[in-house]
Amino acid sequence: MSQRSDENLRGIPMKPYDLLREGLLVFSIIFLITVVLALLFQAPDYPTVRGEDVARRQPLAYLKTTANILAGNSMLQHYGPPYTADYANAQRIFGIAPATWMGVTHTIDPPQDFVLKPLARVAELNLEVGNALQSYRAAPNPQQHAWVTSYLAAIDSASVKGDQVQLPPGNYGPVAMLMDGMLNLGKAGLLEGALENTPQQPYTLNYTLALLFFQDDVDAAVARDLNMLGEQWGISHETGTYPGAWWLWLYTFLYQIPGFGDSPSIDLYAGVIMIGVFLILLAIPFIPVLNAIPRWLGVYKIIWFDWYRDATNPPASTTAEIPEAHSEARHED
């Protein structure tokens, strides 16, 4: 240490401590425990919800989600920044909406980006889908809405036989063929690739559209079955019966407060509160009363137990025997 450090620490009891050794020891123990537990129990992660899985196992849910997006019923339609310019829907705290500061940085038009553009790719290989897409785009908006509304009403009465979805009779226009094209795209495992439109070839790191496609219905249903919705303590849970991230209880607790956890701005509230808690923890050494808590708790006495033990019961001093030795010597003389 420096001379100034030595002066500041003069008279203060200290113990030798090898930070590198202790850190390496802790890391080795945790690594060993992690490997053993992984070998015994394997990973608890729930498999990724892919378009292929939904299209094959739950074709009606797949089609209903797709048709709702085409009808403009998606939550993203009026989400606000960073996806749409509906600033009125941005989360606010004390009238301040931080999401509006950067504006719309990832423009999304759900019917176009999630349905019509992927179908345009299918149309290059399927003439029937191409003709249906052309007819749909040429129709006026009221007619498009009537077709999609009729199709959505029919989905609730539809049935699945083999690989085919059978709809009751109705006037669906070209929408039925468009939805069949989207279903086949999903079954082929090509939905995610068709949704991403990026020049970063051959690799892409932007999976925003693929993650948002099923979030309203399918992903929410899966999360509900796993007890991972916000009102179910969400991210503090793990999939299955494994213990979750219990240390996030304070964050998820905010979502359980009646009237507060239901607010449309709860995500912003929770984030600001957690930042405030973190800053308070950082400033504890400088906050009166709070900085005295360590002395009240006395945990430091446990850490430095040997020093306090020796201070309470000091060893007998060898110098105390010297006078007695001299007195005996004089007595002998």
Residues linked to residue 96 through DSSP beta bridges, in sequence order: 93
Higher per-residue pLDDT: 94 or 4: 94
| CA–CA dist 46, 183 (Å, integer) | 24
Same-domain check for residues 9 and 119: no
Same-domain check for residues 12 and 91: no
User: Under 8 Å CB-to-CB from 300, ≥6 apart: which residues?
Assistant: 294
Same-domain check for residues 205 and 116: yes
| CA–CA dist 66, 61 (Å, integer) | 9
Same-domain check for residues 72 and 27: no
pLDDT, tens digit, for every residue of 259-305?
Answer: 898 898 999 999 999 999 999 999 999 999 989 998 899 888 888 88
Closest by CA to 183, choosing from 197, 167, 201, is: 167
Residues linked to residue 161 through DSSP beta bridges, in sequence order: 164
Per the CB < 8 A criterion, the answer to whether 168 and 157 are in contact is yes
Average pLDDT rounded to a whole number, residues 24-28 = 94
Cα-to-chain-centroid distance, residue 39: 26
Higher per-residue pLDDT: 64 or 6: 64
Same-domain check for residues 68 and 13: no
Average pLDDT rounded to a whole number, residues 141-156 = 95
**Residue 198 tokens, joined:** 């990026």
Higher per-residue pLDDT: 228 or 1: 228
- With bands split at pLDDT 50, 70 and 90, how would you rate the model's confidence at 317? low
**Residue 234 tokens, joined:** 């969400």
Note the pLDDT of residue 330: 45
Note the pLDDT of residue 199: 58
Note the pLDDT of residue 318: 47
Lowest-confidence range among 149-158, 229-238, 308-317, 323-332? Answer: 323-332
| CA–CA dist 174, 53 (Å, integer) | 25
What range does the domain containing 31 cover? 3-44
Last residue within a domain, chosen from 196, 218, 240: 218
Same-domain check for residues 178 and 33: no
Same-domain check for residues 26 and 116: no
Residue 173: inside a domain, yes or no?
yes
User: Kindly report the CA angle at 23 between 17 and 29, in degrees rounded to 5?
Assistant: 125
Residue 332: inside a domain, yes or no?
no
Same-domain check for residues 197 and 98: yes
Higher per-residue pLDDT: 244 or 257: 257
| CA–CA dist 330, 306 (Å, integer) | 41
The answer on pLDDT for 323 being more than 60 is no
Residue 184: inside a domain, yes or no?
yes
Total domain count, the chain: 2
